[in-house]
Amino acid sequence: MKARSGVRTLILALVVGIQLAPITTQAAPAKSIILLIGGGMGPSQVGAAWLYSTRILGKELRMVEVMKSGRTAYMVNDTADAIVAESAAAATQIATGLKVPALTVSMAADGRTPLKTILEIAKEKGMATGLVTTSGITDATPAAFAAHVVHRSDELSVAVQENQLGVDVLLGGRKQFFLPEAVGLAMEFQRTNPDTLLIVTADHETGGMAIVGHWKGSRDYVGIDFSAIQKAQASFERILDELGKNPTAGRIRDTVKKHLGIEVTLKEARIVANAGIHKQDPRSSRRATPHPLAFVLQPHLGVAWASQTHTASPLFAFRSVPGSEELVGFRHNTELFRIMQGALAVAQ
């Protein structure tokens, strides 16, 4: 999903390949696992992507194809010390099956005990493993599968451990535009390799995204203005970089019109320039410009954002066969570890 909202999106592909394992009573055997994690990808992000894909692009969203072909769960992700998860703890819980404190990368709450990950279990069995991300390979989400550090900021130690573990494929960086379509590619592989378990989920939701009922000049209850979104010529990140710190109202108006084709009023531009929302709630808007800008664009686009940070919104988790039948209903993200382990028939 390509985000135009300013919410940073991370796609992690965790690939675990093994020899065919014997059938257990809880799960069908799988020769491989592909785990796709969309950073910040909550139900609203999935829904918006589906609407755009079906109504504007005229094709089904690939993630929805997985949902239709397999099972879907509504997943919560609270951590050992917080209701709202951040990436390190959320990914650790998926990788190890245990709740951990915030900012921890596959370490127990005591800060000394490493927690074995599903990738390490695969390596012990002689399986081929890989981590592929559109962000940095030492970022918290990929790190949780191959490293153990007390705090996610210790990326040097993460890099050393990823190399020491001997992960067969490590691909990272920010060259996402050169990568094939981080769900479509996985589905094509699964179709030609039916003994692959494909799981798509998220670490947490970011931004508190909501599709609102109307925009300027519209009737009520229409939702996103896709015609306005199609006019966008630059990402939110690029717009913010161009605005810089403490932009004037005039510069805000010119930049928004240049890149989004939207003419905000002088009053709206002043809201952004004065950083009123940031001043009222600095912890929920770490930078002065993004949240106010998203706020004034809401009536132009039909999309609202509650904050710049993570939320406790439940997530989707869906899979394509083979694998455990457990990925359905209301689940916690720690259960994904056991589902993957059971699907591969790996002993506890």
Tokens of 173: 């960086």
Are 253 and 148 in a shared domain?
Answer: no
Instruction: Give 317-331 pLDDT, tens digit per residue.
Output: 988 766 556 788 899
pLDDT band at residue 145 under the 50/70/90 scheme: very high
Are 199 and 221 in a shared domain?
Answer: no
Does residue 348 fall inside a structural domain? no
Tokens of 347: 């002993």
Q: Which residue has the tokens 């796709």?
A: 36
Lowest pLDDT segment from 60-74, 77-91, 132-146: 60-74
Q: Length of the chain in residues, anyone?
A: 348
Are 35 and 181 in a shared domain?
Answer: yes
Are 145 and 257 in a shared domain?
Answer: no
With beta carbons less than 8 A apart as the criterion, state whether 26 and 342 touch.
yes
Are 34 and 149 in a shared domain?
Answer: yes
Does residue 3 fall inside a structural domain? no
Closest CA to 49 of 170, 172, 181: 181
Q: Report CA-CA distances (Å) from 51 to 61, 178, 216, 225.
A: 9, 25, 20, 11
> In which domain, by residue range, is 269 found?
209-305
Are 22 and 146 in a shared domain?
Answer: yes
pLDDT band at residue 17 under the 50/70/90 scheme: very low
Are 70 and 156 in a shared domain?
Answer: yes
Are 300 and 339 in a shared domain?
Answer: no
Q: Report CA-CA distances (Å) from 182 to 116, 282, 334.
A: 26, 33, 23
The answer on pLDDT for 29 being more than 80 is: no
Closest CA to 298 of 277, 326, 274, 268: 268
Average pLDDT over residues 170-197: 70
Q: Is 235 a catalytic residue?
A: no
> Whole-structure pTM over 0.85, yes or no?
no
Q: Which residue has the tokens 């519209």?
A: 218
Rg (CA), the chain: 21
DSSP of 219-251, one letter per residue? PSS----HHHHTT--S-HHHHHHHH-SS--HHH
pLDDT band at residue 51 under the 50/70/90 scheme: very high
CATH number of residue 23's parent domain: 3.40.720.10
With beta carbons less than 8 A apart as the criterion, state whether 181 and 62 touch.
yes
- Helical H segments across 117-225, by residue range: 118-124, 140-146, 155-165, 184-192
Instruction: Give 146-180 pLDDT, tens digit per residue.
Output: 999 999 999 999 999 998 999 999 888 634 333 44
Lowest pLDDT segment from 16-20, 90-94, 258-262: 16-20
Q: How many domains does the chain have?
A: 2
pLDDT band at residue 19 under the 50/70/90 scheme: very low
Rounded (5°) CA angle 234-47-84: 90
- Among 92-101, 107-116, 129-138, 339-348, the range with the most confident prediction by mean pLDDT is 92-101
Does residue 265 fall inside a structural domain? yes
Look at residue 174 in the predicted model and tell me its pLDDT. 36
Burial state string for 39-70 with b = 16 or more CB within 10 A and e = fewer than 16: bbbbebbbbbbbebbeeeeeeebbbbebbeeb
Are 254 and 154 in a shared domain?
Answer: no
Does residue 4 fall inside a structural domain? no
Are 236 and 270 in a shared domain?
Answer: yes
The mean predicted confidence, pLDDT, of the chain is 84
Does residue 278 fall inside a structural domain? yes
Average pLDDT over residues 217-243: 88
Q: Which of 5, 44, 87, 313 is catalytic?
A: 87
Does residue 246 fall inside a structural domain? yes
Are 143 and 229 in a shared domain?
Answer: no
